[in-house]
Amino acid sequence: MSQTHKNTIERQTNLKIERAISLQMEEIIPKMQDFSKSYRIANVKEKSPFRNVLNVATDPGSGIEVTKNYIRYQLGRRGANRMWQETAGGDTTFATALVEKIDALSTDAEKILKSVAQDSDKEPDKTQIQKVHLRLMQLYLGNLARYQAYLANERDNN
């Protein structure tokens, strides 16, 4: 197989993965919206708590574990936004629940890669799963930040 043919197959696979990620986000976003409402994140006045987390998540030297650690740090940090300590009728904090949601995205990553792998005989490897998981986490946090801004605006206008 020529290098050109390998590159073409790799590009096609990457496009299939991006398309599958987009389709999966259509299922993830409504769940994220319900999650955010249950923790009343509309009460957060400033956007910076999410902006800072999103900056960590999208930093080229960052990753899933670094982002989760940063979220946990927010929970324990003196002077941190109270949003991180918010509970949804139980004793699980928003920060802890968000880390759990990020962890659960790995199942979505595996699902995406298995759907793409149906067209080939290759099983997804751990590196591929981590790459898609990272992308899903970044999209999740970005959509969460935008949804919080929307909810806060709705609260202020009512």
Q: Domain residues of the chain, as ranges?
A: 3-157
**Using CA atoms, how far apart are residues 144 and 105, in angstroms rounded to an integer?**
14
pLDDT digit string (tens) for 34-67? 998 888 777 776 666 788 899 999 999 999 999 9
The contacts of residue 140 (CB under 8 Å, 6+ apart) are: 28, 32, 101, 102, 105
With a cut of 70, say whether residue 158 has pLDDT above it.
Answer: no
CB atoms within 10 A of CB 22: 11
pLDDT digit string (tens) for 69-107? 999 999 888 877 888 888 887 789 999 999 999 999 999
**Using CA atoms, how far apart are residues 96 and 158, in angstroms rounded to an integer?**
30
What is the secondary structure of 51-108 as a DSSP string? HHHHHHHHSTT--HHHHHHHHHHHHHSTT--GGGG-BSSSS-BHHHHHHHHHHHHHHH
